[in-house]
Each structure stands twice: as structure tokens, then as C-alpha cells.
Amino acid sequence: MKRTIFFLVGSSLFYCPSALKAQKTNSEKKVVKDIESVEVKGKQNHDLVNVSRKTLDFIQSNTLGETLSKIPGIQNSGYGPNSGAPVIRSLSGNRVKVLENGMSVNDLSGISPDFNTDIEMNNVQSINIYKNSAAVLFGGKAIGGAINIETDYVPKQLPSKNLNLKAILEGGSNSGQKQAFSAKGAIAKNWVWTMGAVNQKQEMVRIPGNTKDSRCYDPQLVGFNSILQSLCQIDVDSRNVLNTSLFPYISQFALDHFEEYELSEGDLYTFSATYYNPSDGKYHPNPKNDKYIPGQDPVKDRYRSEVNNIKDYVQPKDGVIPNSHSESNSFYIGTSYIGKSLYVGGAYQNSYSYFGVPGYAIYKIPKHSHGGPQQKIEYLPINIRSLSHKAMLETGYTFKNFPISSIKLNYMGVFSKNAELLERYRANEFTVNQHHGRLEINQQKFKFLSGTTGVEVQYRDMEGEGKQRYLPNTISREIGIFTMQHLDFKFIEFDFGYRNDHVQRRAMADSKYSRSRGLSGGKLSDRDFTLNQFHAAGQWNIFKKAYLKVQYNHSERAPEVNELYAGNNHFAILTEENGDDSLEKETAKTLEIGGGINLKNLRLSANWYHTTYKNYIYLAHTGISREIYLVKEWRFDDTEINGIEAEAAYKVDFNKLGKWEIGGYYDLVRNISTADSSIRKWSDGDYMPNMPTSRFGFSISGTLQKLSINVTLDHYLKQKYLGKNINPELPMPAFSLLNARISYKENTFSFGELEYYIVGNNLLNSEARLQNSQLKFLSPLPGINISVGVKLTI
């Protein structure tokens, strides 16, 4: 304990950047802009995708993953309608870091995909997305990218009026109802307060057809495929029976001595035309088999598959995703002192959520009957309940005539309880205490050189409770120091960055934690990792109208606690999950080449990337099952990822008919095994299973007087690059999603504005199943939804 306290106190003297983004000074507002985090990049940062609040009004959904899935290169993990994490270029979970104002949030989706990211979407001001490795800025868990959510919990500027208020009321045919408000005001000359709250509730999610894929009921596919049976949550009564039509004759000797020698049906049929009778020492003809069908293979056709019955664990209801209820609420309050060169602020946020996952599991596994009557198996719905408290502190100072331009210090503490329930019974609960501190020092620009140097420290204590725990108690400590330098020669720019991290993982088994019979985390050994991150990039700016960019990243990631120490039945993924405490760190080397044109009305861009992974960690099949659970182990092998992304947009002004922008995109990603491993090829194939499919899409947006109109069409292609789940992976059908939003604004008050809007999601009412979703056989995306709402701004 003492070592932990010293680690936190000593390390909290340092901090590194949050959403490093270049900003222009707004002279009309009294705000300490210079001490916000600075993106050490060029004037046009083509690596960073910024999603504004205006864009979020159109694309915002219940989960962070679904919200960002409209962006090229990003898809939704889709663990049911209420849980979804961002998948960046086929990577997610422990490889994509989610931050709030540059600080780590309570994100357990990498440990269990049924947990949702602790982000309240209605409080988001904007989102910064790093689609390449952001490990230099944010550490090894950003090896596949980062999502930085910007909120206004700690105000950084004085309000333009004594009171600013926003309120939203919204209801939908297939999205429930929502109420939200946020307010900001001035306490005194330099003091600002802010507060807000959100409430959301939905009883069920409707879909166009059956919640399960129709192939779950195909006897040819599921009859003898135990893994597909588990993914479909069905019990199948099947057996292999002797194909009697394969044999041309019936053995007369077997007929004569069937009961005497206790023979079986298989002894009755034969390929021999005669039989030997020992009583007279002669051969006699066998009778012909009337069922005989010539031309069959004696080996392949010896047995015939017979499926007698296919039964769901729980009978689903047509037109509804089972157990798709959700409710959540949150509240925050904050305050800041904003001076000429100094600001100091703090905030508190409380959030609660309770939602269902469209899957079922067993709370108590029945004991063997030993010949007696079988115990009835009771399957219960999986629910998630989370309660989180956040404490946020932030301060910054701007210097004049000093080598350092600004300094900024942040702290976030997260204290949460995250429970996995079977119906209302607590099966597993994680109590998380997480502390994160960051210091950022921005140097004064000197001719062509500018840069940022920082340090950050993180500590997480995670304790488990419940009868179905799959992790021991764990402690994680991380400390890192980095620098990012930018050289700007106007027509050509360079970026160079380096980071060094030290990571500790500790497991502490207790008497209440019982491990499985498998590997189950080995010896639960203490692990220490040293990580090195490098970044280098060059950009050629061509007459301010076009650019070409090349960048290289060397990134390393330490295994997470579940990859090292998991060791029990993890009912949420229907798997006996086995960690391996001997896993080595991952190493990724990425080369990306991109370019673009930005003319007055036309914008084009394209990127190609290639990543080679050494020791890519994945959850692999063993081919073994115990009770109803598939036995899997965390393993590592070499992998490569490559893909392309392209975007185009054209603006046009039709005068009285409004201003419009037409856009389109395409993305493709492949995650390929390069390991010379027969075991991996047997269990998972040449491509990683459950990978995002290629997409293309079109959009049109514009304004017509007081009307704003947005329409998008996204088409998901049928997956070509399929892996294996022991058996070959099945591709999901292609589908299209049509979304639209129309809003009307009017100044009904002298002091405020009203906006009325209507939103349509999945207007084609498509049966849409994400290839990368672990629940794709159990749950499609929600069906058609029409929402109406009103927003008041004062």
C-alpha cells in the first residue's frame, strides 16, 4: 500500500497532453486558450478527425461505437443495441484508448464486451479521433488509435451571458425517450459554474424479423457444429446413424446369431456377397439389401447425419431483440476560476446505467445426474448495471517572454461498480478505483520549432465479487514520459515523437476466487513491462491546395489483466476464458501514406496503411468445451493489418435553394495471420475471424433558409476475408443503412432559440448484422426508428 501511495504522489507531479489540437485565439471571448493542450502538428492535421457538436447532432446514437461508425475506418463492436465500442481499422478494446478531456475513462469493454464505455454522449462538445497509433501521446493502449471526448465539465472560458442554458426533449418510435439539460453562468467576475443532467429510458428495441439469423435453424449448418450452436444459443438433438443403403448385402450369419452374440445393427450389413458357416465349413450367399443405392463412397458415406430437433435456449419473440431494455441517468457540476494567465477548475460527475444484453446464460450449472433424471437447465437474461463517480481537477498557466509558453495539469479519479447480472442475480462485479494524472509543458515556438513534453501516471485497483468471477483482484500501474516535436518549414513539415512507459500488472488471488481447470492465468505471476513508442512523419504542402504525407509508428502494448490472469467461465462471451501470465508485449510497426486535395468547393483524400504485429494477442479456440462453455486461451502470434480509406466531398451554392455538400467514402481493412502456426490456421484460419467488412457510403447535407437537412446511405459489403471458429466463419449478408435528419430553427424569444427536429434511422428497415459483432447470430441492428425532439438554447 505504501508503495502505491508513493507511486501516485510522486508521479502526480507530472502530466502530459490531452487532446493535442491547434487552436486559434478568439479575442471576443475572455478565455485562457493558450494553456489548452496543443496538437504538435501542422496547420492542417490530416491525422486527426474532429467531430463537432453540430455533426454529433446528426450522427449521435446511444453508444460511442455506433455514433462513430459513420466515419470511414471506424466501425461498431455491436454487442447488442446498448453496448458498442469503436473499432478502428479492425482494432478495439485494449488497443483503442478512450479518453475524456485527455484522461482515461472507466472503459472495461476490452475486458468484457458487454460493458459500455462510460461516456454520456449528450454532454459531449466534440470528439477527436486518432485513426493511427497514438501511443506516443497516450501510451500502449492507444496502439490502434485513440478517441478523445471533449466535454465542458470544467469550464475553460467565461460565458458570453450571465446564464447559458440548453435543454432537450426527445422521443422515438424505436429509441425510447430522453431528457437533457446543461447550464453555465458567472458567479463573479472570474468565476464560472456549470451543471447538467441527462435521463434516458427504453423498454425494448424492435427489428424487422427474427432476432436470430435464419442459419441458426439450418440442420446442415448447426447439426454437428457445437461452436455455431453456442453462438446461436440453441440445443440440437443430432446423431450420426449408419447409412444402411451403403451396403449391398445383409449378413445371414448375423441374422442367425443376432441375439446369441449380442450383435448391433452395424453387424447386419456387409459388402460381402457370401458368408462362411462354420457348422458345415462352406460359404453361402448373403441376401441382397433392398435399400442398397450404388455409387456411394464406403468411407465418406458410411454414416448419415440425423438432426431430430433444434431448440432455442429461450424462445425469442418475432420483431423484438430480446432483453434490449435500457435506462441511464447522469449528473455533473463544475466550477472554474479564469484569470488572465491562470485558470483552476474542478468538476464532479455521477452516472448510472442498467441495460440488457441479447443473450442468456446459466446462473448455476446443474450437477451430473449419474443415471437419474436430468435437472432442468434454467437460462437467465444477461444484464449490466454500472454506477460511476468521477472527480476532475484541472489547472493551467500561460507564460509571457519565457521559453515555456504554457503548462497544464490534470487529474481524474474514477470510482465505479460494474456488475454483470443474470436477471437480477449478481454473477460478477468489478469495483474499480482509478487515478490518472497528466502534466503537459508546451514550449514557446522558436522559428520553425514547436513542441510539447509531458509525463503521465495511472493507477487502477480492480476487485471482483460474485459466484461467476473470471478474474482475480488486480492492480495496474503505468508511468510514462514523452515528447512530440514539430518542425514547420511552411511547404514541408516534420513530426518526431518518443515515449517511454513502465507498466506493472499484479494479480492477488483470494479464497473466494476459484479458477478453472485450464491454464487460468498460469501462476498469476507479477509482470513488469518497459515500452518504447516512436513516431516520425513528413508532410509536403503543395501550394496550400494539396498535400502528401508519410508517417511511421513503432508502438508497444503490455498485455491487459484479463489477457494475463483470466481463469474461469466468462458467461457474457459463453467462454471459459484462460489468461496466460507468460504473454509478451505486443509490437506494431505501421507505415501510412496519404494525400489529398482541398480546393474551393472540392475535397479529396485517400490513405493506405500497413501494420505488422509481433506477438499479436488474441483469444484462441482450443477445440475443447466444458459444460456449455467453449474453452479458449489468450495466445500471441504474428499478424499484419492493411487497408485503404478514401473520401470525397463537393460543395455547391444554389442561392435561394440553399448551400449543399455531397460526399462519399470507401474503406477496407484486412487482418491477416502471418504466423507459421498450424494450430492458429486450424483454429482461426488465415484471417482473424469477426473482422469488419468493407463499406462505401454517400451523404448530402445542406441548409435551406431555416431548415437543415442531412441524409446518409451506408452500404456494408459481404465479407470476403473470412477466418475460422474451428469451422469456417460464415459471412453475413450485405445490407444498407439509410439515415436522415431534418431540423428547423426559430428565434421565438428575444433571449433564446428553439430547434425542432425529426430523425430517421435505418429507414429501409434492413436486417443488418455486423460481421465483426460477437452477437451477430443473436441480434441484428435496430430496425426503423423515427424520433422527434425539441432543443431550447438560451
Per-position DSSP letters for 106-142, written without gaps between them: ---TTT-TTSPPS--GGGEEEEEEE-S--HHHH-GGG
C-alpha cell at position 566: 483470466
3 state DSSP class of 232? helix
**Planar angle of CA 525, 526, 528, nearest 5 degrees:** 130
Give burial (CB, 10 Å; 0-12/13-18/19+) of 535: buried
The more confident residue out of 266 and 750 is: 266
Instruction: Please state the rounded mean pLDDT for residues 641-660.
Output: 93
Q: What is the pLDDT of residue 369?
A: 54
Q: Are 501 and 482 in contact (CB under 8 A)?
A: no
Beta strand pairing call for 146-151 and 97-100: parallel
Amino acid in the structure at residue 438:
R
Query: Could you tell me what percent of the chain has a pLDDT over 90?
Result: 68
Q: Please name which of 255, 292, 286, 283 lies closest in space to residue 272, comparing C-alpha atoms.
A: 286
Q: CA 566 to CA 552: how far, in whole Å?
A: 34
- pLDDT of residue 304 exceeding 50, the answer is yes
pLDDT by residue (tens digit) across 394-420? Answer: 999 999 889 999 999 999 999 999 999
Q: What is the pLDDT of residue 374?
A: 60
pLDDT by residue (tens digit) across 325-334? Answer: 999 999 999 9
3 state DSSP class of 393? strand
Instruction: Please state the rounded mean pLDDT for residues 258-265.
Output: 85
Alpha-carbon dihedral angle through residues 391, 83, 764, 87, given to the nearest 10 degrees: 90
Q: Please name which of 101, 19, 31 lies closest in space to residue 337, comparing C-alpha atoms.
A: 31
pLDDT by residue (tens digit) across 541-572? Answer: 998 899 999 999 999 999 999 999 999 988 87
Q: What is the pLDDT of residue 394?
A: 96
Confidence of residue 373 (pLDDT cuts 50, 70, 90): low
C-alpha cell at position 104: 482515461
Confidence of residue 623 (pLDDT cuts 50, 70, 90): confident
C-alpha cell at position 362: 446459466
pLDDT by residue (tens digit) across 63-92? Answer: 999 999 999 999 999 999 999 999 999 999
**φ and ψ at 573, to 5 degrees?**
-115, 15
**φ and ψ at 213, to 5 degrees?**
-60, 135
Q: What is the pLDDT of residue 46?
A: 60
- pLDDT of residue 32 exceeding 50, the answer is no
Instruction: Please state the rounded mean pLDDT for residues 353-359.
Output: 94
Q: Which residues of 622-647 are buried (b: 16+ CB within 10 A; e: fewer)?
A: beebeebbbbbbbbbbbbbbbbbbbb
Q: CA 242 to CA 305: how far, in whole Å?
A: 9
Cβ contacts of residue 239 below 8 Å, gap of 6+? 306, 308
Q: What is the pLDDT of residue 679?
A: 83
**φ and ψ at 172, to 5 degrees?**
-135, 155
Look over the chain and give the mean of its residue pLDDT values, rounded to a whole number.
89
C-alpha cell at position 791: 432543443
Q: CA 436 to CA 235: how far, in whole Å?
A: 46
Q: Please name which of 472, 389, 461, 384 lies closest in space to residue 426, comparing C-alpha atoms.
A: 384
Query: Could you tell me what percent of the chain has a pLDDT over 70?
Result: 93
Q: Are 166 and 152 in contact (CB under 8 A)?
A: no
Instruction: Please state the rounded mean pLDDT for residues 289-317.
Output: 92
3 state DSSP class of 4? helix
Q: CA 702 to CA 251: how far, in whole Å?
A: 82
Place of cell 503537459: 440
Q: What is the pLDDT of residue 1?
A: 41
**What 8-state DSSP symbol labels residue 446?**
B
Lowest average pLDDT, out of 372-386, 420-434, 675-689, 762-776, goes to 372-386
CA 432 and chain centroid, separation: 20
Lowest average pLDDT, out of 8-17, 115-124, 458-467, goes to 8-17
Q: Which residues of 97-111 are buried (b: 16+ CB within 10 A; e: fewer)?
A: bbbbbbbbbbbbbbb
Q: CA 76 to CA 78: how far, in whole Å?
A: 5
Q: What is the pLDDT of residue 361?
A: 85
Confidence of residue 365 (pLDDT cuts 50, 70, 90): low
Instruction: Please state the rounded mean pLDDT for residues 712-728.
Output: 93
Q: CA 720 to CA 694: how far, in whole Å?
A: 9
Q: CA 747 to CA 757: how far, in whole Å?
A: 15
Q: What is the pLDDT of residue 634?
A: 94
Confidence of residue 45 (pLDDT cuts 50, 70, 90): low
Q: CA 298 to CA 91: how far, in whole Å?
A: 47
Cβ contacts of residue 165 below 8 Å, gap of 6+? 181, 182, 183, 752, 792, 793, 794
Q: Are 384 and 108 in contact (CB under 8 A)?
A: no
Amino acid in the structure at residue 502:
H
